[in-house]
Structures are given as C-alpha cells and as structure tokens.
Structure 1
Amino acid sequence: MAPPPSNPHRHTRQLCFVLPILLLSSVAADSTPSYSSHCPSPAPSPDLVHTNVNDTIALLEHFRFSPGFFSGSGASNLFMPGVSGQFSFFPHAVSRTADPALLHLSSARLTLFGERAGAQNGTLGFGSYERIYDVAISFRLDGYYSTTTSELCMVGTGTDTDGPAKRYADVDLRLRVPSKPSLVDPFVAGRLEGGADFEAVNLVAYADGDVYEYSEGRATCPAEAAATTSARRALEPQQPGGGFSCAAIRSRLVSEYRLRHAQSNSSSLPKLHEPAMMVNQVRCAANGAVRLYAVFSNDVRLWASANRFAVENQGVVAEGFWDAETRRLCLRACRVELLVSYWSSAAEKLEVRECGIGMSFWFPAVWTVRDRSATAAMLWNASGDAGVISNPITASTFQYIIRTTTTTTNLSDVKYSYTQTFLDTATRHYYLNARRSMSNANKKTEASFPGTYNFSSYRDLEFRFLADNEEMVRGQAYPVSIGSAMVDGDELAAEYAFSRHAAPEMKQSRLVNISYGILFQFTAFDRPDCSEIKAEGVYDTETGFVSMLGCRELNVSTDCKVLITVQFSSLEESQASGHGKGRISSLRDKTDVLYFESRNITLYGMYSEQVSESIWRMDMERIITLASSTLSCAFAILQILHIKRNRDAARATSITMLVVLALGHAIPLVLDLHTLLANRSRLFVELSGNGLLELHELVLRVPALIAFLLQLRLLQLAWSGRRSSGHHRSLDAERRVLLVCLPLYLIGVAVSGVIHAENSRATRKDPLLVDFPGTLWGALASYAGLVTDGFLLPQVVLNAFSSESSSARALSPWFYVGGTVIRVAPHVYDVFRARRYVPSAKTSYVYANPRDGLFRSAAWDVVVTCGAAALAFLLLLQQRLGSDVRRTSHIWLASSSS
C-alpha cells in the first residue's frame, strides 16, 4: 500500500510552532551564566539515573530554609537602604550524582522579601506622600553541594517585577550548609552576588529539616516540689508518648518574653542582661526533641513579627527534650555572638560559644492578677554545681502579645485564681461609686447591659477607650476571665467556656467576678508604645458597672493600687451616648512617688447586636445604591424619548442644567477610578483574598457609568437642538441663566471653604467618630453634590426668562420629579439613619456617607430636601400654567437676587 500523501502545510505549521520554542531555549541557554566560571568548586558530576523517592524528599527538606535573614550593601541596592529583610530557599529537585559526596540541586528558587519607598500621589494629584510597600525578588538557581566541605554553589538569573520587569542575568549563590547541623553548628550562612547588577547580599538562616545531631547528654531541669509540677499543663492535643505535640509546642514557644533579673542585678548570666527575649525559630521531632533560636533586645516594645529571624541582637541556640513527667521543656543553650556586622562588606560569621546556659519552659495551669503567662521560662548558669541555681532569669510572655498572636491557643484548661484582697477592695469601691449612678440606671427597668441580653457571647465586654488628657492615650480592654470561665485565647474555646460556665453564673448572681487586661498606647515620643494594667474585680450585670483593682508594671516596681471603674451604656442608650464612660485613678496618697492623676476615659465601639444591624444596613444600602443608579438610567431614557417626541423640547432644555447633572455623575466616578488606580498594586491580592467588597463596589458603579453616558447624550441632543433652530433668543436666555447661577455657585464655593475649616476644627475635637479631618477637595466634591441636588435651578431660571421654554415643556415629569426624588432620598435616609443606627469609629457607609456631607447636620438635610422639592413644584407650575407663572417666577428670582 502506498503511503498517504504528505501535507506540506501541516509540516509548515509544526515548524512554525517548534522554531519559537527552540529560539527561546537557545536564548535562555545563552543568558544562563556558566557554572564553572562562577563555581570552581564543587566540580559538577553526572546525575544518577534512579534516585530513591524517600531519599529525595529527605534531601529537599534538608535544603529548605525559611525564614532567613539577609543584609549587606547589596541589600541596599535592591531595597530600601539600611533595612534588612527575609529570604526563603526552596529547591524543586535534588538528585545524587556519580560522586557519592556530591548532590545536584536544580531549579531552586531563592526569594528575597524587602521594602521599597515610592512617591504616591494624593487625591486627583493634590499633593503627594512617600509610601513604603513590600517587594519580592525571585532568583532561579542551579548548582551542586558537597557533603565533604558543606559547600553549596549555584548560578542562575533573577527577576524583579516591581514596575518595569528587570532581569538579573549573572547571579551566583554560595552557602555553607552543615551536613548535620548541631548545637555548635546550627546556621546556614553565605552570600548572593549579582555581578554588575548589585553588590553582595549576606544570607543567614537557622538550619531546617529533621537532619540534626543532638548532643549525647540530655539537658536536665532543677528538681522542684510536686505542688509546682501539678500547676503545669500538658500539651494539647494529647499525643502518644507523654502528651507531646510538636505543633503545639512550636505555636506556644514562638513569642516575646519579658525578662526579670535578680533584684540585686547580679545575674548568673551577666552577658544576657537585656529586658526582653524573642523565641523566633523552633524545630522539633516526634520523640520530644526540641531545638530553638532566641534573640535578646533592649527594646521591650512589639517586634514586627514573631517569626522574624534576627541576628543583630544577642542570641542563644538551645536543644533539649520535653519532660512528660514534670511537664517541662529542659534545654541546654549556647550564646551566639555576631563577629562581623551584617552591613559590612566583610565575610559574615555567627559564632557559637559559652554553652553552659540552662533553659526551661513550661505552661502555667493557674493564672492570677500578677502572673498571666501562657508560657513561662527560666534561664540560669548551668556550668556550676549540678542542681544549684543562683540568681536565675525568669521570663513570661507579654500579655498583649498573647492577645494578638495566640488566637489559636486553647487556654480552656487554665484556671483563674482571683485574689481575695483585690476583690474586697473592688467591691468596697463598687458600693461607694456605683450607688451614685444606680438611681439613674434603675429608672429604666428595661435597660439591657452586656451579659443580660446575649448570654452566648462575651464580646460586648470588650471595649476601646480614649483618655481625656494631654497625652492622647488610646487603649483597649478585654476580659480575661468572667466568673469561672476563661475567655482569653482561642475564640471558639472562649465562646464555649462563656456559654457553659459564665452565662449561668451571670443569671444566678448580680455581682460576678471578672478580670481584665487593659492596654494603653501613648502618642508622646518619650513614652513606650504600649503599657498594660492587669485588673480584677466585680461586674454588676443589672447596671453595667465594673469596679476593679489593677497592677501596672513600672521600670523597677509594680503598682497594684490602681482603681478602674467603668459604666457601660445600655444597648438602648449606646446609640446616643456611645459605649460608656470610665475612670482610672490611683488609691495612693498624693505624696507617694507612684501616685498619678486620675484620668477619665470615654468608651467607644459597637455591641454585637449593633454590629449585626450595621452589616444589615450596609447590605440594604448597596441595594438602594443600585436601585438609585438604575432609576437614573431609566429617567434619562424617558427624557431622551420625550425630546424625540417633542421637537421643541431640545432647544427649551437648559444646557447649564444638563452640564450640572453630567458633572454630578462624573465626579463620583472619577473619585472611584482614582481610588482603584491608587491601589492597583494590591488589586490582585484584594480580589483573590478579602477583596469581595471592592468587587461589589465596582459592580455598583456600572449603572452610574451608564447614567453618565445617557446624560452626555441628553447634553448632545440639547446642544444640537439649539444649533439647528438658529434661535438667538434661546441662546440669550441661556446666557442670562449663567449670569444668575454662576455667581451663586461661586459664592457657594467660598462658603464651602469656610465651612470646611470649621468642620476640620470640630473633627480634631472629636476623634472618636472621625479618624481624620476631610480634605479641601473632599469639601468641594461634597459641594458639587449639593449643586446637583438643586439641578432644576437653571431650568427654572431659563423658564422665567423665556416664554418659549416654559410653553414647550422641556422636561418630562418622570425626569424632573424622579430626579428630584433620587437626589433628596440620601438626605431623608441620612436623617433616618442618624436616629436608627449607632455611629462607630470606623463605620462603613455605602449610601449617603454622612462624613462626606458639607454641613453634617440633620437640619441641613431637611433644608436641602425642602429646597429641591420647591424647585420641582415651581417647575411643575411653569410647565403647566406657562406665562402667568413665568412672570411670578421672574419677580421671585429678581427679589432673591436683590
């Protein structure tokens, strides 16, 4: 059988498809730097054909480093000068070679995460400011690793996608990766060099993976009494082999700790004298083996991230085992010293020395007003006599760190032990202070306070506050325990503990024991960012009154004579009066050095039911916005049909009115477009993550865009009608409209500037409901909306000066009546919302944002509504009665102008 005839076109298509691929491959091959020119050692070797799958997985884990730390002069070339960053290293394939001591790492990806600063334009170009944003640079590398010398050398290319894509074509990476990391050799360190593109970048990371060589001797903890041992918690969830859970211990150890040195300041570890410690790297195995890296700092404020790998400060590396019998983690630690600054061009080196440090971590099972540590620790000099500890360093987690970073920590097995002397003092002041306000509170027998209307949630007892003093102290307070229930830690466990224990106790007793954590944030530069008061006392469920005695940490002492009283607003009153009032005062004499002046605090926020109402309101406002935009389109279409049916209507329609309407639709669209363009760098993240609201907002603007285009069509029809008719009298009438309306609009601009200044001054006096004063451009945009509310004014003026316009009935009743209703509806709704819904510090508005209002008063909403309705009614009379009303309107306009 003869072969089928060949199809030359098919071969041509195949050739056209293959050639570009070959060309791209050749270009990529030419652009890839040569391995031998950058890495004289280790020398490459052919890959083995077959590699064990389990062996490959173990090798991949051994060469994964995340997070790591980078710095150096090259970092300043790539990112902001003087700022370090993080890196990650992930090989996609690892294979053994013909040389048993050589591994081939192919398609490895090194990613540097840093920050850059760039100019950001203000709203519509009004001013500019510098913004700092995150940037990631990715490098694709290929190379070899020698198990004999622990040397890894790789070459490849990099890509920077910030702005115009930039390619780094000549990059080499040299790392020292210990084949078996140990306590004295735990770090991966090296350099990334970019040839002519950037200077060397120094890299260091804590060795990852399960390949680790623990010391032969197990670390031991000092013996303690059985009562102390029973006060510790086992790890959850329970695991075979003594209750050890690797994931649980990692989540609880990675945190920030406050260090307390001996009172005599003669610590047994003089080189570890800093007041704060951060454990940021923890690795563990299923058999209970644990190793970690911790750094010490003089800065007691929050670190940027709990997982941040830092080398600039003093540090320790430690290893040990979890003791299931005593429920402690016993570790042997070594001090880490940075020999060369990581911002110098010299080769970096972290040296491990002085390994005679003992460390122990445990998880307290009982919390008190003085000690609320989810994790506690102790450091001591273990190089002396066994079992003898002198002047140890104790550590406990920062309480406010727990609040923000351990939302998954289950503290339901922790018991809170109230201090009776604190409760007695708080109860005594409760009867002294609360009785004064009880008479007013009891007048409203139907008042509902937190805990009386919603027994399934404790969230309403949380609040934020603002102190009325010159330091502008802001803060937040959250309950730690209510009755016998722990409500701190994991949210689901806290909700269960509250509904199971605290809610029945609040039903049975009027006074319930309660404990709080109160955080302060100062704006003064000479104060720390945060300070804390730990308090406990009683809560009256019928009056919403809280009386507590608290302790505050000072530099060298603790002040436990701080009285905190709070009067919550009822659910019915919070709409008008906010969340409540309070007072923080000192019970010490004025001559005492720890005495401080009393501070009144104002509570703000929303109760849970009000949050639900706010969400429902926002959904309803989206529907109203969509309906208003759709009706605007419908009324514009009806006006277009009206003009086509009445040939005289086009030349009788006020062009000034149509311009005002077009601008009224265009300004919101321009502002939304500017917001979208300003955030274009985060658009993908927002839409793929938590950006569903932005997508909805974009959809809501589609009918508004259509309405704007229809207004342009109306403007084109009116202008064509004037040009085709050739009536100079109608053009003269339009000029007279401008002579009347334009001065009024200009006067309004001047008045808007004055009112904006007054609103800005009032905003600074009331920072609870408005975060920042409005801009002048925002005030002008708001005034443009006010002009659009009176869009019928130019048409009324035109009808007053031109008999032809009034007799022609230029506007369809659907257009001017419906348009008036659409414009006054936000003002009517604003009055309704102000009486119905609760304002908040960061309330979101979809429809009729009151913060955009120029005058910001319900009275002005009524004035605008009545004025717009009067214009519509006057236009109705003009189009119905003609010349008689025209003369009346002319007289009314003349008297108004004079």
Structure 2
Amino acid sequence: MTTVLHLFQSQLLLSSSPTLSPLVFKTQVHGLFSIAGTASFIRTNIFSYQVRNMSHGARSSNWRKRGSHRGYVTFDLVGFWSETSGKLCMVGTSKSYSKTGNSLNLDAVFKLKNVHNASNISSLVSGSLESLSSKKDENYFEPFSVLMFPKENYNYTLDSIEVENEFSSESDIEKGLSLNMNSSSFCSSYPLSRVIRRLWLEYSKECISSKNCSPISESYGQLPSLLSLKGIECSVTKKHMLRVRMEFLNGSYSQINQGFNPKNMLVGEGWWDEKKNRLYVVACHMIGTETSLDGIHVGDCSIRLRLRLPSILSLKNSSSIEGQIWTNNYVADPGYFKRITFRTDEVLGLGSQGLKYKYSRIDRVKQSCPANKPVKNQGSRRYPDAYSYNMRFDMSVRESYRRVAWGYSTPLSVGDHFYDSNSGRNFESLPSSKTEVANVMVNNDSRFNISYKIGISLTSNSTLSDRNSLFYLSSETVKISAEGIYNAGTGTLCMVGCRDLPSNRGVPITHSVDCEVLVKFQIPSLDTNNGSYIKGSIESMREKSDPLYFKRLDLSSAAFFTKAAKEAVWRMDIEVIMVLISTTLACVFVGLQLYHVKKHPNVLPLTSIIMMSILTLGHMIPLVLNFEALLTQKPNNKNIVLGNVGWLEVNEISVRLITMIAFLLQFRLLQMTWSSRKSDEGNKGLWDAEIKAAYVTLPLYASGLLIALLLKLKMNGDKVPMLITIYFKSYGGLVLDGFLLPQIILNMFSNMKENVLSCAFYFGTTFVRLLPHAYDLYRTHNYADIVDNESYVYAVPSADFYSTAWDIVIPLGGMLFAVIIYLQQRYGSRCVPPLRFKGSHVYEKVNVAH
C-alpha cells in the first residue's frame, strides 16, 4: 500500500504530498487486518528563492529552498483494515507547531475507503484526515480530504490490440532515439524523468481559446501552456509498461508539484514501443462532483499521447523530445479537441547513445561571415577552447542603446559532441570528445562547427511597442536556435539562427520559425588582465519592408575566465573586509561624538537635528530592509557566482550586527540632541535657526533629486518606474555623503562659535562615507566589470552615484564640507559667506549656577 497521497483542505487545493507506510497483521476475525504505520504530510509550497548563476544560462539557474520543519508533519497511526469492505480506519498523533511557535500534539483519525488488494485504471482511493480535538482547542485543525492512486497488484487494462493498431496507423514513420533503458527508467531515471515534466504545448493557428482546443474542461478560457508527464508506477511483471499522470498547467516550471487538482489532470497507461522507439499513452479524464472528492472517478479514456526522442537534431528542430496529443472522439463529440503538439528545448545529454546534430547552414554562415585571421602583432594571444565552460554565458541585451532584456547563450554541440546543459558537464566529459576532435574542425586554423541555444526575456519594466522590435507581440522568452563557426584563433563566433515566431494572441502555435537571423559574438582573450566583455549582436537578414524584419540587438556579457574568476573571488573577499572595517569605524566615530557631548553638554542644542536624522536613517534603512534576514541569519539573495557562500553569509550577519550597534549609538545621539533642544527654553531662537536651515536644505535636496531624474529620464525614457526606485536609493547615498550640509547651514543662521562636533566625528565619518568612492576608482581599473549589481558587496552602484566623475566630485565635496565645519568651529560661522545668512545674535549655551 505504499503510495502517493494528494490532499485537499475544505475541498480547496492544499499543496501537500503525504506518504503512507503501513505494516499489516492478521487478526482472529476473517478479512480484518491490524495496521500500524506512519502517514507523512509534506507541504510543497515552501518558499523558494533563486540564486542566479552567471555564465550558466537561464536553464541552469540553481534553486534553494528555505523553510521550516513545520511544513513536514508525520502521524504515528494504528487501526484496522477490512478486506471485504475496503475500508481503513486509523488513529494517531503527530508533533507540530502553532502559528506562535508553540509545540502541539495533534490527535487525528485517518479514514480511507475502496482500499482493495487489486486495482486498475478506474480505481481511486478516497478518505479524510480529521482532528479529534475540539474546535476551541489550539490543537484542532480543519479536516483534510484525501485522494490517491492505489499501487498494489495493479492490472493493466488499456493495452488492447485495438489501441495498438490505432497508434500504428499514425503517419509519422520517422524512428526515434533508442533509450537502451529498462521500463523503470521512465519513473525514476535522470534526466529523462525530469525533462518529460517540462513539455511546452503548441496549438494549431485556429486555436485562440479553449473551445475545441483544450484536453481539459477547467481551462477557464485559457489554453494550458505546459504539460507535466510523470510516471506513477512502472510495471515489474510487464516489460516497458507504466502508469502515468498528465498535468496541464497555465504558467511556468514553478507551478509543477504545487498541488493536486483532478480537474487539470489525466491518468493513463503507457508502454514503450521498442521497434519504433516511442512512448504511447492512453489517458482518461478524472470526472467528479464540485462538492466532494468522494464522487471523483476515472472515465472517458479517449485521450492519446505519442512521444519520441529525435535521433537527429537540426537548426529548425532542436527539440530533444517531441510528441502529440489527440482524441479519438469525433468533431461533434463533447470531448473533442484539435491535435496538440509538444516539445522541450532542453537537451538530455544523451550524446553517447546515438544522438547527433546535423549542420545545414554552414555554407550560409561562410557567406555572411568572412573568416578573420589572427592579427600577427597580437603575439600569442589565447582564446577559449570551443569545448570549454567559457563558451556558456549570460548577457545583457540592448535595443537602440537602451537595455531592454536579459538573455543566455548555451552551446548545444561542437561537431558531433553535445554539451549537457542540465548537469553542468562540459564537452570533455563525454566519452568520445577527445578521440574525434579532429573531425570537428572545418580546417586547420582552429575553426569549429558549433550550435547554440539562445533565450532572451524582456525585463519587467520594459515595454516595447515598435513593430520592428524582436519582442513585439512576444509574451514569452524569445528563443533562438543557431549554428555556425567558432574561430578559436580570433575569438569570433558567427552563426545563422532560427527564432520562434510570436504566439497567436498569447497562445503558443505549432512550431513556426524565422531562419533569417544572424548572430555574432566577439569573445575576449584569455590573457586579458582586467577582464572584459563578450560583445555580440543579433540582426535580421531580411529587408526592412519584410513583416518579419526586426531591429538589431546589441549583446554584452562579462567574461569570467579562470584568471578573472580568481580575481572576482579576491575582490568579493576584500569588499566584505572593507564593509566590516567601515561599519566598525562608523561605530567608533559616533562613540567619540557621544564622549564629546558628555564632556561638553552645552553644544548639544547647537547640533543640527536634520543632520542627525539623516545619519540615523542611513543606518536604520538597511536594517529595516534586511530585518527578516537578520533574525533568521540568512542573507539577501545574492548572485554569489564564485565565492565561498558560507563565509560571505557569516560576515554579512556580522555586518548587520555592527550596523545595529551603529544605529543604536546614532539614535542615542539624535535623542540627546532633541531632548537638549526641548529643554533649552531660554534659547528658542535655535528652533527658528533650525527651521530656516530646513527651508534651505530640503529644497536643495528636492531640486537635486529632480535634476538627476530629469537627466537620466532623458537618456532612458522607457524605464520610469525602475529609475525612480534606483535613483531614490542612489540619491539617498549622495545625501549621506554630504551629511554635513545641514550643520553648515544651521551654523550660518545661528552664528555659533562652539566646537559642536568633535574633529574625529566629522572628519572620521566623512572618511567612512568617501572611502567607497576611492575604492570604486581602484575597482574600475583593476577588476573586470560585473553585469549584475547583486555580486557587489561594497560600494554597490545602486546605493550611490558611482562613476569616474562622481568618484572625484563627491570626495572633493565631502572634504570641502569637513573643512568648512573646521573653519566655522575655529573662527566662527562669520568666516563663511554668504553674509545674508549671518544673524545678529550668537546662540550658545550659558551655564547656570545652582
């Protein structure tokens, strides 16, 4: 009875997948058995976050799950099962946790019916899990409805001669790739079992809604875009027989395994035809009522599925899996739908088992891309080998000088050798890659036939309405298959590609491509010391008047070769150390100011409240944004490409703790300044001076932000929402860099002549604020550029204004402010113009004798 259970709560989908593992014993009553075991309930909607791995391509992104053990609940159960009635009843307990984190003992009764020794395609087991506690008790939980596919003594009934004849009458006679596997491979082997759960559906051009086009009734007017095909069980007694579950989804890969919904599923039986190398499936609908799972049953077994693995891939057809879904119903029947094709763009990595790639456009590539010979004066410059990991990269995409998308480029093959993009192995790991390298070269100057998979997705804030844009009417990622020649002597890669044409009003249509696409890349030398960019372009070879013409796209990607990778690791380590040092110094300088005001309490009312507020917010905002990560000791999602993730996590937690200390010290200083100003009733003129300073300071800040936004919007007018967010963060960093400005203006209005700020505080804090700009100058000239901001640990570009010009102007401005404060405190505020700011009174704290 070991099986997979699928749960609902109050008839609503609950993303859980429990398993039941019982032990069965005979009793003295005939047909009644004693059962003891466990039932485990596992939530599948645990929160996940993505760690994007640069130079891997979109298909190799790593997913890490984080969650709590509270998502896993196991009940220890004992009870009885009646063989005659098929009913099972068990009671037991489980450890769990309340919403407040308190430990709970859950008492429950677990019931199943239709549990019999033998089963077939129409057999379903239903039941419930109910709490034995009162509704008022904290241990109470809402009842679960249970539905499962039985596995014990299953009888295959749909592999009749009539059905086999129906499949054999299909017109497609092309033979597929032989798997050389046993039947169990469909249920458990890697990578086939994973890839067949990611099949993209394509419909005929007439399909713009679910009417007569969808195999499931619950489409809500929208056609499913993804098919997940999963083996429930593989037969032990019958060769190559298996049971399958077909799930139709509207969305992406992330929806797979997010619950069990019979309305979107089919259940069927399949078998592998060894003669034609195909998988055939007969599938049935799961029909039931809206109010209860008990009424669900299997019926209408009119669905047919055929799947094969092409033995030869090409430019126009680079799918490693393809197939069709249809019904044997007539057009007038209620369950009729038009034939659907499906395919996957992932590569199985089965090159050693007979899979080949057929190059068909090499002559066209030679015409479009003249061969470039190595420049003699370049010496012995080396470029990446065609089989190396460096040929795989992510990229930034620009259209008309505007960044509009991100993409990935992943090699599919070099010659007859395939790259396993799913497991991350390179070409050299394949058994025959070293013995037949000579056959891959076009000639003796290190030129290689090569094919690629390219995917490009619009950024979330990009909206393009130009009809000549590649992304016009494209709702999904633009996918391009390309083949061409890579010259390892010059680093040039030139290919002719086929792009998938836009879908029909958001509905993916049967495979339609435009093969007039030219793709070029220039890969930098391995000997580049400071790192460099891979530069490239995607162009249409059609005339501008052609409806399929699109404007040129410019591509760029940071080139992470071995030397650059080591430098990137070193850079990130240095940045973490600098963050720790800077944050610690900030604590020290604030502490020195607290010591200063303790010795000279009369200067507290003369301190600018605006300045103290700015510094306090500068420490508080990062803490608020990372509050959850601080408590759980888990860092923000970072693109940790090459470094030691654990080491960075530990140090990031240390930075947050030190930042918390700096915030508390700064907040204490702000609180003391506010309290002293309120208690200083004899010098109300200080409040007037503070207000006047605010009237000058705040408009300056507002006008500066407006000017910065207008200048940037003029250059990138299509990204207004994103620019506002980024520039608020960057401008906030600029305000922090000039934190002394409010104090300078307050001094002018108050005509003070006291040492309000300690020299260590204003010079030291200025040094801490300006050090990132000095480091950015060093980083720009000594390390490779990084496309993704999330790989920065110190001097993050989105947190301040960083460029060669800003890195010079901001430190000069900060030091100027510090010098002005020094002069004001030494010679009085009258030494600094303009004269109209100077008042006729001098505000200072007068000691009162008690």
Q: How does the TM-score come out when normalised to structure 2? A: 0.70
Structure 1 residues 279-318: Cα deviation after superposition (integer angstroms, max 9, x where no partner): 1234236675541314275969757217865532462411
Report the equivalent of 1:892.
Answer: 833
Report the equivalent of 1:672.
Answer: 622
Structure number with the higher helix fraction is: 1
Percent identity between the two aligned chains: 18
Residue 873 in structure 1 maps to residue 819 in structure 2: yes
Is this contact kept in 1: 2:285–2:299, CA < 8 A?
yes
Report the equivalent of 2:228.
Answer: 278
Q: 1:852 to 1:529 in 2, by over 3 A?
A: same
Report the equivalent of 1:45.
Answer: none
- 1:785 positional shift: 1.3
Is this contact kept in 2: 1:367–1:414, CA < 8 A?
no
2-structure distance, mates of 1:865, 1:772: 24
| Structural mapping, 1:776-787, within 5 Å | 778=729, 781-782=732-733, 784-787=735-738
Residue 63 in structure 1 maps to residue 5 in structure 2: no
Report the equivalent of 1:88.
Answer: 18
Indicate which of 317, 342, 356 corresponds to 1:416: 356
Is this contact kept in 2: 1:550–1:563, CA < 8 A?
yes
Structure 1 residues 364-402: Cα deviation after superposition (integer angstroms, max 9, x where no partner): 44433344343455789999xxxxxxxx98966411xx2
| Structural mapping, 1:676-715, within 5 Å | 676-677=626-627, 695-711=650-666
2-structure distance, mates of 1:761, 1:370: 41
Report the equivalent of 1:293.
Answer: 244
SS in 2 for 1:868: helix
| Structural mapping, 1:53-132, within 5 Å | 62-66=1-5, 68=6, 70=8, 74-76=10-12, 85-91=15-21, 96-99=26-29, 101-106=31-36, 108-109=38-39, 111=41, 113=43
1-structure distance, mates of 2:771, 2:584: 14
Report the equivalent of 1:629.
Answer: 583
Q: 1:788 to 1:470 in 2, by over 3 A?
A: closer
Q: 1:866 to 1:878 in 2, by over 3 A?
A: same
SS in 2 for 1:337: strand
- 1:603 positional shift: 2.0
Q: 1:738 to 1:340 in 2, by over 3 A?
A: same
Report the equivalent of 2:791.
Answer: 844
> Structure 2: which 5+ runs fail to align?
48-66, 217-223, 330-337, 464-470, 504-508, 840-850
- 1:429 positional shift: 1.3
Residue 247 in structure 1 maps to residue 189 in structure 2: yes
Is this contact kept in 1: 2:395–2:408, CA < 8 A?
yes
2-structure distance, mates of 1:685, 1:638: 31
Q: Given residue 337 of structure 1, which amino acid in structure 2 is its aligned partner?
A: H
SS in 1 for 2:413: strand
| Structural mapping, 1:23-422, within 5 Å | 62-66=1-5, 68=6, 70=8, 74-76=10-12, 85-91=15-21, 96-99=26-29, 101-106=31-36, 108-109=38-39, 111=41, 113=43, 140=75, 143-154=79-90, 161-162=98-99, 173-176=110-113, 178-180=115-117, 182-185=119-122, 187-191=124-128, 202-208=145-151, 211-214=153-156, 232-235=178-181, 247-248=189-190, 251=193, 254-257=196-199, 277-284=227-234, 289-295=240-246, 297=248, 304-305=255-256, 309-313=260-264, 315-320=266-271, 323=274, 328=277, 333-341=281-289, 343-345=290-292, 347-352=294-299, 354=301, 363-375=309-321, 397-399=343-345, 402=346, 411=351, 413=353, 415-420=355-360, 422=361
> Structure 1: which 5+ runs fail to align?
1-61, 77-82, 118-132, 384-391
- Please provide the CA RMSD for this pair: 5.7
2-structure distance, mates of 1:230, 1:250: 15
- 1:623 positional shift: 0.7
SS in 2 for 1:564: strand
- 1:801 positional shift: 3.4
Q: 1:828 to 1:640 in 2, by over 3 A?
A: same
SS in 1 for 2:764: helix
Report the equivalent of 1:583.
Answer: 538
**Higher RCO (CA-CA < 8 Å; seq separation 6+):** 2
Q: Given residue 368 of structure 2, which amino acid in structure 1 is its aligned partner?
A: H
- 1:352 positional shift: 4.5
Q: 1:732 to 1:556 in 2, by over 3 A?
A: closer
Q: How does the TM-score come out when normalised to structure 1? A: 0.67
1-structure distance, mates of 2:313, 2:293: 49
Indicate which of 364, 379, 384 corresponds to 1:451: 384
Q: Given residue 745 of structure 1, which amino acid in structure 2 is its aligned partner?
A: T
Of 277-286 and 617-626, deviating more is: 277-286
- 1:828 positional shift: 2.2
Q: Given residue 244 of structure 2, which amino acid in structure 1 is its aligned partner?
A: Y
Q: Given residue 890 of structure 1, which amino acid in structure 2 is its aligned partner?
A: C
2-structure distance, mates of 1:626, 1:615: 17
Q: Given residue 516 of structure 2, which amino acid in structure 1 is its aligned partner?
A: V
Report the equivalent of 1:511.
Answer: 447
2-structure distance, mates of 1:822, 1:316: 64
Larger radius of gyration: 1
Structure 1 residues 831-862: Cα deviation after superposition (integer angstroms, max 9, x where no partner): 44445541424433332322122x55543443
Q: Given residue 710 of structure 2, which amino acid in structure 1 is its aligned partner?
A: E
Structure 1 residues 683-714: Cα deviation after superposition (integer angstroms, max 9, x where no partner): 77999x98875553231123333334445666
User: What is the aligned residue count?
Assistant: 753
